Amino acid sequence: MKKKLLILLSAVMAFSLILSACGGGDTAKPADPGTKVETPAEGENAGGTPAEGELVTEGTIKATDPSKSPANATARKDTVIVGMPAPSGVFHPQYAEIAYDAYVAETLFASILQVQKDGTYAPSLGNYKVSEDKKTLTFTLEDAKFSDGKPVTAEDVAFTFTLYYDKSYDGPTDAYAYAPIVGAKDYKEGKAQSISGIKVIDPKTLEVTLETPSVLSLDVFGTAGIIPKHVYGAAYKPGDLSKMKDTFTTPVGAGPYKLEKWVAGQEVVFKANEHYFKGAPKVPNLIYKVTTEETNMQLVQTGDTDGEVNISASLDNVEAIKALEFADLTLNPTNGYGYIGLNHKDERFKDKKVRQALVYGLQRQEIVDGVYQGLADVVNVPQSKVSWAYTDEVNKYDYDLEKAKALLDEAGWKEGADGIREKDGKKFKITFTASTPNAVNEVLIPIAKENYAKLGIEFVPDQMDFNALQDKVKKGDFEMVFLAVGLTPNPQTAQGTFRTGGNQNDYFFSNARVDELFKLANEEYDLDKRKAYYKEIYQIANEEVAHIYLYQRRDTLTANARVKGFDVSPYKRFTFDTPVIEIQ
Amino acid sequence: MTTQVIRRLLQTIPTLIGVSIVLVLIFHLIPGNFVDSNPTISKERAAELKEMYGLTDPVHIKYLKWVKGVSTGDLGYSIQHKQPVTTIIDRYVWNSVLIAGVVLIFSWTIAIFVGVFSAVRQHSFYDGLITFLVFAVMSLPSFFIGLLAIKFFAVDNRIFPVGGMITTGANYEGWAHIWDVIEHMFLPVIVLTALNVGGLTRYFRTSMLDVIKQDFIRTARAKGLKERTVIFKHALRNALIPAITLLGFEIPGLFAGAMITEKIFNWPGIGSIFLNAINARDYFLMLGYTFFIAFLTIIGNVIADLLYRVADPRVRMK
């Protein structure tokens, strides 16, 4: 009996763990309903002192009294400690998947291009040129050395690129989809000893030939942390990368710092790389300390850390950081947005007028303010406002009940006897698939219910665990769903969501012009030309209501004012500032 | 005795097989997987990765592959950490064991003494006070007293560190390092002990009350033994026998990690790693670790059984 009970118990325990432990898609903190909602300040507030009572929602809020810095922090003359959630020990630029492993990899490894504040790429370890037919990329390298003193050569770059196309590579990069190199398929299938499309011209020059032009290839090649062949070569056998996994905790790169030690779940300790090609970093010791959301602010307060990347941008937290007086707080729009996805296969949502009515009839500003108390903007395009490709020359869809009603009338949805609209004998009832617990849904559902009732639409929420929701969406088994999505510096990645049959297009959105524009944009390297393509894409995505775009919230970077030189954006993370920061 | 042990161990095999089947089934059925959560890869690449990780196999093949690995001590490959599951467990579990072990010692010692005293003075003011305190502490959520303790002892008064296991940037060696770890253990140990001690106290109190009402205790007193000898030598020994079973169940608890407390005190234990694995649907880490705990539970049960027989001659050895 006891044994049976035990099996049952362990099964129940395991199951309840699964049920209780699932997080939502959006990690927003629930809003405090008692807090007064203030109007967001307009425009840039960088560095300026805001007027009394005005809420600064963007830019840097400077420390008011740096001398209040805790004594133990001020005593660290040659060390900067930055707090972040735990990296998992995958310190390899080709394998790092979670953000915190990527932070460590970015600190240890240098890449040919480096992302700028607006999401464009600038030369770093080298530069690139595109051939006339846009199929060949020529990379040239700066004079640079790895942290062991050996030079960075085109051989190392070729070695790095080759890894992505290996049969046994299981890192997060889908190199072939982004950068289809000539000969990569043969190499993967074991038909060739090397990739014919990668040619080392001389120790400083490398040529890569693609099957088709792809601007996305820059995301693979440009941002790949270059690994030295003389160190990692021994761990690589074509078709067998299992030994590579033993190198994760002993990384050697050409980045600003080298790894001193990693204590799992506690800290990553770096020493300045004296060979760094842009000059040795000014801070000799850098430590990434593992923090959790529960106490990351307290650690800044007690001086255990000099900075923190993961304090969630709620009004309470912003006020608490300001009250420290010695910390600079940078508020940036998060690199992503929240939206309501519509299933375009649904008969009702096939009608553009219905989709537009659903936007006009929804009080998006109220929802966003209710959740984020001013620390988020309503968005109308699927792009971050800091991106070089952003446009605001689109319809703003301000709340307009009458317009929404008129659009539904035009679409043939007439109000029935019970106040619910119907067409061809069918009632307008929307099932809204929502994850729980989720702070946004808590506010969105009651408002949407009321808003849509006014339009004569019955809005029925169906709440579930996030992974269950994701599963439903992947299977196309939904009508309307709330989700949030992350953005990358290259606007081209949005093709996954908006192109017909795209890997993330679970909404069956399809527009011939959008498909064409994405194809054109991917074959173009000129920023101005690409910008025009993306602008048109965003305008169509706005006009056609591919999604109901909701909000872009904020991220924070908190830094003790004794550390100067952080200049971050949603694209350019603090890791890129590590070579230039200084202790005052 | 040896045959006893062998027989008892052999009996665990069907249980383990049962547990493994249930676990693989449960984890097979839960929605979502690690690969699909990466938005930047194409459908072809996702299929390729799932194939590589063995996520596409039908459930019986999955099971057979996994069991084959487990029989050679290989619990699978953590997709998230890109390392064998055993490496990941080994990397983090000892930090959890350290905390749980110290908490176990403290909470048992305190619970035994408090339990005995409140049993001896049943219905006294002292007993009432203890009962009140025990229930008050037990009913507080751990994250609440954890955060409260941090606020009072680490932020407002800087007596203890806020969290973590070592002082970042200090690079202590030898005894300084050990003392540093002890200092970081104070708060989590106090909080976890306070939470654990409540239930245990009630347990020992009840068990002690049962014993001191028995005839042999009256006999002992009648013999003219000192009260202290009666309570600690005659009564407590007998009252502790049922506790052996309880101790057996504590064995998996040592390795399970305290998820909430680890997060609050930033303790680098296995609890938070497991929680992340569930959220990220790191299939084999979830499976491997749950199985590891199930295995320890069964083993703990066997050990308790055997110890029980040693401690109490009345339990017949068949």
Domain residue ranges in chain B: 86-311
Q: How many CB pairs under 8 A join A and B?
A: 170
Q: Are residues A349 and A307 in the same domain?
A: no
Residues of B in contact with A76 (CB under 8 A): 169
B164 in contact with A, Cβ within 8 Å: yes
Q: Does a structural domain hold residue A538?
A: yes
CB within 8 Å: A81 and B168: yes
Q: Are residues A27 and A138 in the same domain?
A: no
Residues of B in contact with A499 (CB under 8 A): none
- DSSP lists the bridge partners of residue A507 as none
Q: Taking a C-beta distance cutoff of 8 angstroms, is the pair B242, B200 a contact?
A: no
Per-residue pLDDT band for A40 (boundaries 50, 70, 90) equals very low
CB within 8 Å: B80 and A88: yes
Q: Does a structural domain hold residue A387?
A: yes
Q: Are residues A470 and A418 in the same domain?
A: yes
Q: Does a structural domain hold residue A157?
A: yes
End-to-end C-alpha distance for chain A, whole angstroms? 68
pLDDT digits (tens, 9 = 90+) for A123-137: 999 999 999 999 999
B180 in contact with A, Cβ within 8 Å: no
Assign residue A128 the CATH number of its domain. 3.90.76.10
B43 in contact with A, Cβ within 8 Å: yes
Residues of A in contact with B91 (CB under 8 A): 89, 264
Q: Chain B 225-244, CB below 8 Å of chain A: which residues?
A: none
B154 in contact with A, Cβ within 8 Å: yes
Q: Are residues A242 and A386 in the same domain?
A: no
Q: Are residues A180 and A310 in the same domain?
A: no
Q: Are residues A143 and A287 in the same domain?
A: no
Q: Does a structural domain hold residue A10?
A: no
pLDDT digits (tens, 9 = 90+) for A253-312: 999 999 999 999 999 999 999 999 999 999 999 999 999 988 899 999 999 999 999 999
Q: Residue range A354-375: average pLDDT?
A: 93
Residue A41 scores a pLDDT above 60:
no
From B26, B147, B162, residue closest to A14, measured CB to CB: B26
From B81, B151, B263, residue closest to A90, measured CB to CB: B81
Residue carrying the six token digits 């081209």: A492
B-chain residue closest to A84, CA distance: B266
Residue A33 scores a pLDDT above 50:
no
Supply the mean pLDDT for chain A: 88
Domain boundary among A247, A269, A290: A247
The span from the CA of A449 to the CA of A274, in Å, is: 60
Q: Are residues A268 and A292 in the same domain?
A: yes
From B18, B38, B155, residue closest to A298, measured CB to CB: B155
CB within 8 Å: A97 and B80: yes
CB within 8 Å: B41 and A174: yes
Q: Taking a C-beta distance cutoff of 8 angstroms, is the pair B104, B250 a contact?
A: yes
Residues of B in contact with A11 (CB under 8 A): 19, 22-23, 26
User: Which pLDDT does position A49 carry in this prediction?
Assistant: 44
B-chain residue closest to A492, CA distance: B40
Q: Taking a C-beta distance cutoff of 8 angstroms, is the pair A382, A339 a contact?
A: yes
B278 in contact with A, Cβ within 8 Å: yes
The span from the CA of A395 to the CA of B226, in Å, is: 91
**Which three-class secondary structure state does DSSP give residue B253?**
helix
Residue A367 scores a pLDDT above 60:
yes
Q: Which among B78, B82, B94, B281 is the top mutation candidate for probing chain A, defined by the most A β-carbons within 10 Å of its own β-carbon?
A: B82
Residues of A in contact with B155 (CB under 8 A): 298, 301-302
- Nearest in space to B79 (alpha carbons), one of A505, A424, A188, A170: A170
Q: Chain B 72-111, CB below 8 Å of chain A: which residues?
A: 79-83, 91-92, 95
CB within 8 Å: A290 and B281: no
Q: Does a structural domain hold residue A90?
A: no
A79-84/A307-308 β-pairing: parallel
Asked which of A23-32, A335-344, B168-177, B268-277 is least confident by mean pLDDT, the reply is: A23-32
pLDDT digits (tens, 9 = 90+) for A244-255: 999 999 999 999
Domain made up of B86-311: CATH architecture? Orthogonal Bundle (1.10)
Return the number of other C-beta atoms located less than 10 Å from residue B232's C-beta. 12
The span from the CA of B230 to the CA of B227, in Å, is: 5
Domain boundary among A247, A272, A303: A247
CB within 8 Å: A292 and B263: yes
Q: Are residues A137 and A206 in the same domain?
A: yes
User: Which pLDDT does position A46 carry in this prediction?
Assistant: 38
**Per the structure block, which two tokens stand in for B197?**
């001690």
Domain that holds residue A75: 59-85+259-334+556-583
DSSP string, A59-87: EEE--S-GGGS-HHHHT-SSEEEEEESPP
Per-residue pLDDT of chain B in tens (318 residues, 90 and over written 9): 788 788 888 888 999 999 999 999 998 888 888 888 788 888 889 999 999 898 888 899 989 999 999 889 888 899 999 999 999 999 999 999 999 999 999 999 999 888 888 888 888 888 888 888 888 888 888 888 888 889 999 888 888 998 889 888 878 888 999 999 999 999 999 988 888 888 888 888 888 888 888 888 888 888 888 888 888 888 888 888 888 888 888 888 888 877 888 888 999 999 889 988 988 889 899 999 999 999 999 988 888 888 888 777 776 654
Instruction: Compute the 3-state secondary structure of chain A and give helix, strand, coil in percent, each to the nearest 5.
Output: 30, 20, 45
Q: In B53-207, where do the E strands start and end?
A: 77-78, 83-84
Residue A29 scores a pLDDT above 80:
no
A-chain residue closest to B12, CA distance: A3
Return the number of other C-beta atoms located less than 10 Å from residue A71's C-beta. 7
Which backbone phi and psi does B190 adopt, to 5 degrees? -60, -45
**Per the structure block, which two tokens stand in for A325?**
């007086």
User: Which pLDDT does position A455 carry in this prediction?
Assistant: 92
The span from the CA of A101 to the CA of A97, in Å, is: 7
Q: Are residues A322 and A348 in the same domain?
A: no
The span from the CA of A95 to the CA of A244, in Å, is: 10
Per-residue pLDDT band for A19 (boundaries 50, 70, 90) equals very low
The span from the CA of B135 to the CA of B118, in Å, is: 14
User: Which pLDDT does position A53 carry in this prediction?
Assistant: 54
Asked which of A85-99, A314-328, A439-453, B253-267 is least confident by mean pLDDT, the reply is: B253-267
Asked which of A35-44, A110-119, A401-410, A449-458 is least confident by mean pLDDT, the reply is: A35-44
Residues of B in contact with A89 (CB under 8 A): 81, 83, 91
A-chain residue closest to B26, CA distance: A15
Q: Chain B 10-39, CB below 8 Å of chain A: which residues?
A: 11, 15, 18-19, 22-23, 26, 30-32, 36-39
User: Which pLDDT does position A539 carry in this prediction?
Assistant: 95
Which backbone phi and psi does A213 adopt, to 5 degrees? -60, 140
User: Which pLDDT does position B317 carry in this prediction?
Assistant: 54
Residue A23 scores a pLDDT above 50:
no
CB within 8 Å: A88 and B275: no
Q: Are residues A81 and A205 in the same domain?
A: no
Assign residue A386 the CATH number of its domain. 3.10.105.10
Q: Looking at this predicted complex, what is its ipTM? A: 0.88
A-chain residue closest to B17, CA distance: A7
B156 in contact with A, Cβ within 8 Å: no
Q: Does a structural domain hold residue A253?
A: no
pLDDT digits (tens, 9 = 90+) for A188-217: 998 988 999 999 999 999 999 999 999 999
Residues of A in contact with B279 (CB under 8 A): 21-23
Smallest Cα distance from B237 to chain A, Å: 25
Q: How many domains does chain A have?
A: 3
B-chain residue closest to A174, CA distance: B41
Q: Are residues A414 and A562 in the same domain?
A: no
Domain boundary among A182, A216, A247: A247
Q: Are residues A298 and A187 in the same domain?
A: no
- Nearest in space to A147 (alpha carbons), one of A288, A283, A286, A277: A277
